[in-house]
Amino acid sequence: MTFRQHLPRTLGLVAGLLACASGASVASAEDAALLPMKILDASSGTPRPAEYTPVGKAEKPYNLCVLFPHMKDSFWVAVAYGIVKQAEAANVNMTLYEAGGYENLPKQLSQFDDCLANGSDAIIVGAISGAGLAQKFGEAAAKGVPVVGVTNPIPPGATPAANYVDFEAMGGVTAKGLLAQLPAGEKANVVTFPGPAGSGWAEAFNDGFKKTVAANPDVTILAEKFGDSGVAVQLQLIQDALQSYPDMNVIWGSAPTAEAAIGAVAEAGRSDIRIISSYENQAMLDALNRGDILAFATQYPVGEGAIAIDQAVRLIEKKDVIKVVQPEAAVIDKSTVGSVNMALVLAPADWTPVYSVKAK
């Protein structure tokens, strides 16, 4: 195991302690039910407020196969936590596979084939590429195996159910967070680091951010730097940007971008640079409490994981299901962190990821 693989859990411990200090306890939520949860029901195309209530225990111990792009950061650990806790609550069998990164679409396609070959009753997939998996979605449908998209976007109607945030809205809330803290008349020269090109979510995050700041003459987008969401790749992109764009004073991007930026900015002696994250992980909570970042957005990834399991059970049992669930994006900064339900945002600090659940 590499140092980077240890890092999220180490940071998570610090984050958990800080969360407890601020009144947002993560560890105490381990035995609590994650659902019901307030959501937006976007099945009709027009999101409307709703509450997602689980169906309860499954009628049988179904076999669910779960595919993730990777487990390199604590964001996906949070989704996994929701998956595991709801699989336990529903009393189903669950096996989780991760592809190792957004560059590994062929591996995820092969893992999807394995899920079908192993007789899975349903497949839950955090898609590396929704378009890239389209043929596999069709193959699953032909075999009568329901597929649920989780966290990452997929083409509309590609699967019988999905849950993921409105990524443009999520990019927009971080832009509003930046604008709210930008002193009047101060120029913001931004380089964006949205994430991996072709993922869908990275482009949507970026579009939402750009659209929200477009009307503000004090904000200039200097460049957009796409790349894998691993910390090492993001660090290289940031170091290059520090050299190429000396006027850059805002770094906006993924949580691994922010993790990498904190050290890179300090090493460069650029205390004038503000950092803001388009999504959450445990390191972001830590960084926010230290004052290293302005804010981060949340899509409640623990809740997303739990909902995906329940959607799968409902599809298998042919029960009513909300076909498109959207968590409502929110920005978390120093003024709001104490009021956020962190049990739906982060896995408990001492939770070690597991890749299978056995029904009792």
In a domain? residue 171: yes
Q: Which of 219, 210, 223 is nearest to 168 (CA)?
A: 210
Per-residue pLDDT tens over the stretch 297-309: 999 999 999 999 9
Query: Can you give the length of the chain in residues?
Result: 360
Give the span between the Cα atoms of 218 and 208, in whole angstroms. Answer: 17
Mind giving me the DSSP string for 138-170? HHHHHTT--EEEESS---TTSSSEEE---HHHH
CB 117 within 8 A of CB 85: no
> What does the pLDDT read at residue 184?
86
In a domain? residue 84: yes
What range defines the domain where residue 140 resides? Answer: 33-165+300-328
Same domain, 242 and 284: yes
Per-residue pLDDT tens over the stretch 179-191: 999 988 899 999 9
Give the span between the Cα atoms of 334 and 293, in whole angstroms. Answer: 10
Same domain, 200 and 289: yes
In a domain? residue 126: yes
**Residue 245, Cβ neighbours under 10 Å: how many?**
15
Final residue before a domain boundary, out of 280, 298, 316:
298
Same domain, 144 and 287: no
- DSSP classification of residue 339: G
> What does the pLDDT read at residue 234?
97
Give the span between the Cα atoms of 311 and 319, in whole angstroms. Answer: 9
> What does the pLDDT read at residue 32?
60
Is pTM beyond 0.75 here?
A: yes
- DSSP classification of residue 70: -
> What does the pLDDT read at residue 185?
86
In a domain? residue 23: no
**Coil, strand or helix at 98:** strand
**Inter-helix orientation angle 201-213/167-181, to 10°:** 40
Go through 254-289 and write b for each residue having 16 or more CB atoms within 10 A of its CB, e for each that does not. Answer: bbbbbbbbbebbeeeeeeebbbbbbbbbbbbbbbbb
Q: What is the CATH number of the domain that holds 39?
A: 3.40.50.2300
Same domain, 266 and 172: yes
In a domain? residue 114: yes
Can you list the residues of the chain whose pLDDT is less than 50?
1-29
Give the span between the Cα atoms of 26 and 48, in whole angstroms. Answer: 28
Same domain, 245 and 266: yes
> What does the pLDDT read at residue 358?
98
Same domain, 43 and 103: yes
In a domain? residue 142: yes
> What does the pLDDT read at residue 74?
86
> Number of structural domains, the chain?
2
Same domain, 207 and 311: no
Same domain, 171 and 115: no
